[in-house]
Structures are given as C-alpha cells and as structure tokens.
A and B are shown apart, each in its own frame.
Chain A
Amino acid sequence: MIAFILRRIVQSVIVMLTVAIVAFALFRFVGDPVASMVGQETTLAERAEIRQALGLNDPFPVQFFNFVTRAVQGDFGVSYRLQQPVMELILSRLPATLELALVSGVLAFFFGVGFGVYTALRRGNWLSGSIMTISLIGVSLPTFLIGVLLIWVFAVELQWLPSFGRGDTVYIGDWWRTGLLTESGRASLILPAITLGLYQMTLIMRLVRAEMLEVLRTDYIKFARARGLSNRAVNFGHALKNTLVPVITITGLQMGSIIAFSIITETVFQWPGVGALFIRSVQFVDVPVMAAYLMLIALVFVVINLIVDLLYYAVDPRLRVDRSSARG
C-alpha cells in the first residue's frame, strides 16, 4: 500500500515535470507576450527592454529552471495581462471550474450509469435504443454549438435560465466562492453543466452498457442467478458493482478532460473559471497563467488518478494483494 502510493507519487512527479517541460517549451511558440502587453505607442526599444526584464531572452534552461524553482514554492509569477499574482488568480477562478466540473461530472456519472444500466438490461427495447441514439448527439455536435443552441433556446427564446456567468455567489471560508448556495447561482449552473456533461455522459453510458453486458455474461452472474438471488441483487449488487471497477477509472480520467473541456463551455457561457482564463491567456500570450494552468491540469489529473487508484483499491479486493497486474 505504502509502496503503491509512493510509486504513484514518484510517477506523479515525473508526470508533472514532463508536463512542465513540454508546456514550457511550447510557450516559446505561442506568440510574443510583449506585443499584447503594451500599447501601440511603445517603441521597439522599449519592447525589447520589457522582454529583457521579463527574462524572455534568457536561454531556455535558465527560464525553465527559474520557473520550476519558483513553481514548487507555489509562485507562478504575475500575470502579464492582469498584473495579478497567477496563483491568486487561478485560485480565485478554480472554485467556479471545480463546481462546474463536479456538477457536470456527477450529472454525467449518474445519468451515464443509469442509462448505461438501463440500456444494458433492456437491450433491444425501443426506449433503450432511443436513449442510445439520442445520447450520441452529445458526441456528434461540437460542444460550443451545443452551448450556443442551449443559450438560444433556454435563455433567449424561453428566458428560463441565465445565458452567462455564475449568478450570485457567496463565500465559503476565505476564498471559496460558491454559486451553489444561491438560487441564481444554481440556475446559472444548469446550462453549462449540461453542455459540459453531455459528452461525458454519453461516454460513461456507453462504457457502462458495454461493461455491464460483459459482466452479465460472466459465470458468477449466472451462478448468482442460479442461487436464486433476486434480479435486483444480481443486477445491482453483483453486476453493477463489477461494472463499476473499470467505469471508475474511465470516469476519473474523464474528470480531467471535463476540466479541460470546460475551456469551451466556460468561453461560451462566460463562466468565470480557469478554462476561460486560460483561453484568454493564450490569446494574450500570458505565459505565467498558461504555465500555471497546465501545471494545475496536470496536478488535477495526478490527484484524480491517485484517487481513482485508491477507489479501485477499495472496490476491488483482488488488488489488495497483488498490484502488479492491475493496470493494463
């Protein structure tokens, strides 16, 4: 167990470093930050000066070393664009993204598992066929279009739900700003959460269905039926639980991509999260923010992976003895 966590941590550090290197190397190509930092009156000489002051002219290893040494202390510098400490900026935006990701993740998980189980158990009936087909729309249209269409229908035409933003927010503790506790906050969450969750829901649903169909054919399910267990016990106690083992992994990985995909949803709904921050930062070549965001994403993944592994560990007793063959 300790060994396993240790190994995970070592792997995580390597992952983080790799992401840092890759991300950092990439920034050299996304554009010139100075051009978007200064007004048009700034002379070329002044621009060069700023570049020098920002350390953009240092050799790559120097820049990287500086970045990493500061990053491990939690210091990602100051945003070129907003002149605010990046860490603070990201932390202030993170709750919005996490709430959105969590809610859509939970929605996706529950609907995904529910529909997946239903369509697996009722294979061939028209309702499960329809669910299967309709759910595909979630992966057959680009997210941004789904978002825009939802706004059009529910905000503009029907005026049921807000079209943008997070509504009213209140603070929990010092910095966690939540929209979940206010009515407008919850209303604002609905459309973005659907937009973001639809894709994941489809994936989870399909996965659950496929896994469930596999599991339903296993001997132990047959044996469970032969023992006269009720359908409920067999389908949910035995089949679903076994289905969830792989589903947890994928859902865990999806959680990360939910956060990444929130870039689009946040942009469409002007959701004040880190994704929108990132995409604006790309436009403005706000390197410190971009770097911090990528590190954050990597961190989130690493943490989620760890949680998933621990969950795995909790769910599947086989792994408690021998981990070496667990991950494929």
Chain B
Amino acid sequence: MTAISNKPPLLSVRDLVVEFPTRRGTLRALDQVSFDIAEGEVLGMVGESGAGKSLTGAAIIGLLEPPGRIAGGEVWLRGERIDNLSVEKMRRIRGRRIGMVFQDPLTSLNPLYTVAEQLIETIRTHIDVSEKEARKRAIALLDRVGIPAAARRIDDYPHHFSGGMRQRVVIALALSAEPELVIADEPTTALDVSGQAQIIDVLKDICAERGASVMLITHDMGVIAETADRVAVLYAGRMAEIGPVRDVVQAAEHPYTAGLMGAIPTLTQTADRLTQIPGSMPRLNAIPQGCAFNPRCPRVFDRCRAERPELIARASGRHVACWLYETETENV
C-alpha cells in the first residue's frame, strides 16, 4: 500500500486488530485494518453500525474500553509509533496532537462545569499558558466555531446551549490544544438536518485553516461525499474499499460499496425500489470464512468463500478488498 503523496502520512494505521475477549471466545472487532491519513486530508470512514468505525477511532487515540484491546498492528503518528506508548505519554498525545469529537453533544460535556472551565482546563493541560491567556484563546476559539457573543457565553454551563451550539463547543474543545489530527465520530448524527451541514462546515473549515487532518466517521454517505477527500468503507471490522471520494461514491468497485450506494434514496432519482443488499452484516462471532461479505454478495464465487481477500491497490490510489479485482491488479 502506498501513500497518496510523497510526504510521509500524518497518521498511518497498519494491520490494526482489535479484540474483545468474551466468554464465548475472542471477538475480532477490527481485523487488519490499514489506512493512512495525509496531512491536511479529510478521510471519511463509513460503514454500517457495528462495522468498527468507532473502534478504529478509539484504538487510534488509545481509549479502547476494556476488555477491548489492540491485539495486533501498529499506529504511527508522524513517524512515531503510538499504539504502544505508556499511559502517560499517550495522554499527552490525546487532545494535544489528536483531538476527538464524539457523536452526542448533549452528553459530551460535563454538566457541572462551565464551558470556560472545561476549555481552560484542556488548554492548560497541554499548553503552558496563564489562566488569562487560556481564557483569551478559549474565547477566540468559541468565536471561531461560531458561537455568538463568545466572551459572554463562555461562562455559561453546557445546559444553557442548544444542541447545535453544544456541538460547536465540543469541536472547540477538541481543537483547543491545536491537534494535528481530529477524529470526529459521527459529529452530526444527533443534530437536526439543518444543523448538520453547519457543523460539518465549521469542522472542515477550521481544520483546513489550521492544517489539521480529519478522520470523519459517519454512516451518512452524503456527508462524506461533500466533505471528505478520501473515503474508507469498513465492513465487519475489515476494510472493504478505500479511495478518493468521487471514485468510491460514483463508481464503487467493491460489491458492498456498490450495494450501499444503491440503497441510498436520493432526491433526484426515482426508482420504484431501492437496491437492497439481502441479509445483514454478520455478528462478530459469526463472520463467515473467506470474504466477510460473501453470503450477501451478488457476485460471490468460490474463492470468496474460502480465502480472505487482501486490500488490492487499484488505479488512482484506490484499494479494494475483493477477489473480483485480483487479476486486474497484476496489470497495474
């Protein structure tokens, strides 16, 4: 697998394996997931619920909840391996170098502290500035994420803010120590249609401004299409396809991606029935042999049932894990 540019990638995830030991054996929730995020890039990560999107984010930032654990693979941040750092070292990376935004703005903020307290605490944890300076930065940041009258509202408690505003605060918090990478785990799912676009815009603009890369986790293809540079599609803890967003959205190669795209109703086309992928994503304890998608795949053939496909590099930096494309790869 090659990086899309010559510069070394900001984040590089290699063969990441995340496991949950349970009473009925070990569940492999992420299985050899590999991808890179380049500097300044927005990588979209899509997949159905349970595909492992959040786990990927949590594993990168070192916040897997026990008993979950990284059972294999490596995570590199700007050439430094971070998956095996000590607790304290990893803590210094969190917030400072990798910021994170969670799905639900209602519950992400501690209700007992003012926005100012939470912002200043975060800033001062990572950056050696005075309380006053931290406050100034905090206000500027709030202002930047679009909170009107930031200087006044900074001393409000989270419950004084509406959902959209809270998510802006969360973004401000995630960005407060100026991280190089922001992992946004479904940052808009809890918001209204009208608010979603605003938040995505804010996130994207600020990150672009500061040169931060974004890993945008979502299951909304529309959001990805509008925001991301590249998109990675996860299926049952495995990478199905990864590539530039336009390619993947408009000309999906992996049958799963293709099915997924067909299943999305759009405002423009008026098919009577949506394309439908039969069945559902397998549970982690029942992932079929070979390609995880093989029981649902319309183009399945024998090999799919026996052997697991690797990510195969395709034209223009696209990679697909599907046996359909193996032969073609050789040509590339």
Direct contact between the two chains A and B in their complex (CB within 8 A): yes
Interface residues of A (CB under 8 A from B): 218-220, 222-231, 233, 237-238, 241-242, 245, 315-318, 321
Contact of A317 among B94, B122, B157 (CB under 8 A): B157
16 A-B contacts (beta carbon < 8 Å): A218-B107, A222-B63, A225-B63, A226-B94, A227-B125, A228-B93, A228-B125, A229-B125, A230-B91, A231-B87, A233-B125, A238-B110, A241-B112, A242-B112, A316-B112, A317-B114
Interface residues, chain B, with chain A CB atoms under 8 Å away: 61, 63, 87, 91-96, 99-100, 102, 104, 107-114, 121-122, 125-126, 157, 159-160, 170, 173-174, 176-177
Closest to A123 in B: B66
Docked-complex contact B100 and A318, CB < 8 angstroms? no
Contact B108 A223 (CB under 8 A): yes
Q: CA separation between A238 and B100, bound complex, in Å?
A: 18
Q: How far is the CA of A237 from the CA of B236 in the complex (A)?
A: 38
Interchain CA distance A242-B176 in the complex, whole Å: 23
Contacts A224-B110, A231-B87, A231-B91 known; 19 new A-B pairs at CB < 8 A? A219-B107, A220-B108, A223-B102, A223-B170, A225-B63, A225-B91, A226-B61, A227-B99, A227-B176, A228-B91, A228-B96, A229-B95, A233-B121, A241-B110, A242-B110, A242-B112, A316-B112, A317-B114, A317-B157
A225, A229, A233, A315: the one within 8 Å of B112 (CB): A315
**Which residues in B have their C-beta under 8 angstroms from that of A229?**
91, 95, 121-122, 125
Q: Are A219 and B102 in contact (CB under 8 A)?
A: yes
The answer to whether A318 and B91 have CB atoms under 8 Å apart is no
Which B-chain residue is minimally distant from A244 (CB atoms)? B112
Nearest CB on B from A224, distance (A): 7
For B170, the closest partner residue in chain A by CB is A223
Inter-chain CA distance A78–B121, complex, in Å, is 60
Contacting residue for B177 out of A225, A228, A245, A321, CB 8 A: A228
CB within 8 Å: A-B pair count? 83
Q: A242-B112, A317-B159 are in contact. Are A227 and B94 (CB under 8 A)?
A: yes
> Is A228's CB under 8 angstroms from B104's CB?
no
Which residues of chain A come closer than 8 Å to B94, judged between CB atoms?
225-228
Q: In the bound complex, do residue B102 and residue A222 qualify as a contact, i.e. CB atoms below 8 Å apart?
A: yes
| Complex contact A227–B174 (CB within 8 A) | yes
In the complex, the answer to whether B173 meets A230 with C-beta atoms within 8 Å is no
Please judge, given known A-B contacts A223-B102, A228-B91, whether A317 and B63 are in contact too, CB under 8 Å. Answer: no
B156 smallest CB distance to A (angstroms): 9
Residue of A nearest to B100 (CB): A226
Specify the chain A residue showing the minimal Cβ separation from B185.
A226
Chain A residues contacting B125 (CB-CB under 8 Å) are 227-230, 233
A125, chain B: closest CB distance, angstroms: 13
Chain A residues with Cβ below 8 Å from B157 are 317-318
Q: Which residues of A contact B126 (CB under 8 A)?
A: 228
